[in-house]
Amino acid sequence: MSDKTPYYITTAISYPNGKPHIGHAYELIATDAMARFQRLDDKDVFFLTGTDEHGQKMQQTARAEGITPEALAERNSNEFREMGRLLNASNDDFIRTTEQRHHEASQEIWNRMADNGDIYKDTYAGWYSVRDEAYYAEDETAVRDGVRYGPQGTPVEWVEESSYFFKLSAYGDKLLKHYEENPDFIGPNERRNEVISFVKSGLRDLSVSRTTFDWGIKVPNDPAHVMYVWVDALTNYITATGYMDDPNGPRAKYWPADVHIIGKDIIRFHAVYWPAFLMSARLPLPKRVFAHGFVLNNGEKMSKSLGNVVDPFELLEKFGLDYVRYYLCREISFGQDGNCNEQLIATRVNADLANGIGNLASRSLSMIVKNCDGIVPQPGELTDADKELLALADGLLVSCREDMDKQLIHKALASIIGVVSETDRYFAAQAPWTLKKIGNTERMGTVLYVTAEVVRQIAILLQPFMPDSSAKLLDLVAAPADKRDFAALGEAGRLKPGIVLDAPQPVFPRYVAPETDA
């Protein structure tokens, strides 16, 4: 058994009623960067993603396409899996809610909630949004042009049927107490405040089964009912750990999850319903739920009718994976909405990568190759400037860890890139080319050594965000395979004088937009 600390991180599971879009790609990339960061930081990581395949939306889409929901789910779930492969996602499992293991876990959690006296049968009458798969109170809806819409702008329909209910109303105070005692349970703060005021406004019991369609997990002992898709969907996080089946099983150590990464539109399900279900089933609660913002184009929601949809697959073709990963993690403040389009990506990657770390690595390492026979020089006595720069690089891990623990991935990246800028300034001020000209080869060697050492550390820290390009950067400084994790940062893994470097190959080429026939 591993003596590393377990760390469990999840994305939301996506509805496979269509192909993956940029929002799905964004969530997976960001969560992957967090999972990779923790792995490099010596945690025993379990990273889960998958597809949410039941519910009325799936059934309706399948009907419109003239295929079965099974076939729709199978086809699009494969698209999501393929997207994960193209994005270099390092998830340890991919769950599909149509799997047997998940049916069993969902029925188990249902039985536990029922055993606790929290499930009763009645009749539901109210508004339902199929697009959100959500029930809304009348005062959360509004009529425009004769159509009634829910709070997320999706149409709602009147539903009236026999239904099981979950006694959510009994959990308001318990939830508020939990938020109070665990201030980090919901992030960012805007979402925490939103959830608290929603709970304070009073919770009504939740309809948790449907009889007017059958594409779902059957309610135990009452097969005329299928579970409300969110009861089943949220349970996926625990299904994958096998915790309910065997609390000592091989993956049970991962429950409770360290963090669920989700979008802001589904915070209510994760921060209200999910903890209430778990309290009722007497299961431990996840430690944190963090909601990211939406990916927009010039501040506008992407939509087919506006013609402003940014397709993640096209971006990958144009820019290559690591530029897309970098852009999304760096430019959009995680937790806020942000923009994504080709112009913005080009500007950002050229500034930070081609002109930034790429240029720095190539200038400093090619000087070692040309002037030191490719041998990493032995540094002479360090000046204050050298020491200050090394201290900056050595200090990055602590600040990045703090940021990543709060899911502030953009902030961690900004501070890494900040050290690149400092190193650029150092390199320009120390001017090793002048030192060469005046014959001070020892000082030149020291400056090149210090710069290459910072490049090494930057490359290690960039791995979670750009795994392939960072590996190439680490090849350039001949970092051994077992010296690429965070234990090799700082003093412990210092670049070894005397090792031989090859002529640097460009890792971050400048992006030039292809000519268009305008």
Helices 22-40 and 69-86: angle between axes, nearest 10 degrees: 50
Torsion of CA 262, 154, 83, 351, to 10 degrees: -70
Closer by beta carbon to ligand ME8, 13 or else 478: 13
Q: Is 507 in the site for ligand ME8 (CB under 6 A)?
A: no
In a 13 Å sphere around the CA of 297, the CA atoms on its Cβ side amount to: 16
Beta bridge partners of residue 121, listed in sequence order: 164
Cis peptide before 284 (omega within 30 of 0): no
Element (H, E) at 64: helix 56-65
Query: Alpha-carbon distance 244 to 287, whole Å?
Result: 18
In angstroms, give the least distance from the CB of 10 to ligand ME8. 8
Distance of CA 334 to the CA centre of its chain: 9
Q: Among residues 140, 184, 265, 394, which is the contact residue for ligand ME8, using CB under 6 A?
A: 265
Binding to ligand ME8 by CB under 6 A, coded x per residue (else -) over 372-391, reads --------------------
Q: Among residues 8, 9, 24, 46, which is the contact residue for ligand ME8, using CB under 6 A?
A: 24
Q: Is 195 in the site for ligand ME8 (CB under 6 A)?
A: no
Q: Is 407 in the site for ligand ME8 (CB under 6 A)?
A: no
Q: Is 316 in the site for ligand ME8 (CB under 6 A)?
A: no
Q: Name which of 333, 304, 407 is nearest 10 in CA terms.
A: 407
Written as one string, the DSSP assignment of 239-269 is HTTTTTT-TTSTTGGGPSPSEEEEEGGGHHI
Q: Among residues 6, 7, 8, 12, which is the contact residue for ligand ME8, using CB under 6 A?
A: 12
Answer for the pair 222, 228: CB distance below 8 angstroms, yes or no.
Answer: no
Closer by beta carbon to ligand ME8, 24 or else 96: 24
Q: Among residues 29, 95, 199, 234, which is the contact residue for ligand ME8, using CB under 6 A?
A: 234
Q: Is 50 in the site for ligand ME8 (CB under 6 A)?
A: no
Q: Among residues 156, 295, 478, 501, which is the contact residue for ligand ME8, using CB under 6 A?
A: 295
Query: Alpha-carbon distance 430 to 388, whole Å?
Result: 13
Q: Is 262 in the site for ligand ME8 (CB under 6 A)?
A: yes
DSSP SS3 for 143? strand
In angstroms, give the least distance from the CB of 27 to ligand ME8. 5
Q: Is 216 in the site for ligand ME8 (CB under 6 A)?
A: no
Count residues contacting ligand ME8 (CB under 6 A)? Answer: 18
In angstroms, give the least distance from the CB of 326 to ligand ME8. 17
Q: Is 79 in the site for ligand ME8 (CB under 6 A)?
A: no
Q: Is 13 in the site for ligand ME8 (CB under 6 A)?
A: yes
Could you tell me whether strands 222-227 and 218-219 are parallel, antiparallel, or unpaired per DSSP bridges?
antiparallel
The side-by-side arrangement of strands in the sheet containing 134-136 is: 134-136, 119-129, 157-166, 206-207
Q: Among residues 26, 46, 135, 277, which is the contact residue for ligand ME8, using CB under 6 A?
A: 26
Closer by beta carbon to ligand ME8, 236 or else 451: 236
> What does each C-alpha distance from 296 to 44, 293, 341 come to in angstroms?
34, 9, 9
Q: Among residues 233, 278, 316, 346, which is the contact residue for ligand ME8, using CB under 6 A?
A: 233
Q: Among residues 87, 266, 365, 466, which is the contact residue for ligand ME8, using CB under 6 A?
A: 266
In angstroms, give the least distance from the CB of 54 to ligand ME8. 10
Distance of CA 403 to the CA centre of its chain: 14
Q: Is 27 in the site for ligand ME8 (CB under 6 A)?
A: yes
Contacts of 83 (CB under 8 A, 6+ apart): 20, 24, 25, 28, 312, 313
Q: Among residues 8, 15, 127, 136, which is the contact residue for ligand ME8, using CB under 6 A?
A: 15
Judged by the rule CB under 6 A, the positions of this chain that interact with ligand ME8 are 12-15, 23-24, 26-27, 52, 233-234, 236, 262-263, 265-266, 294-295
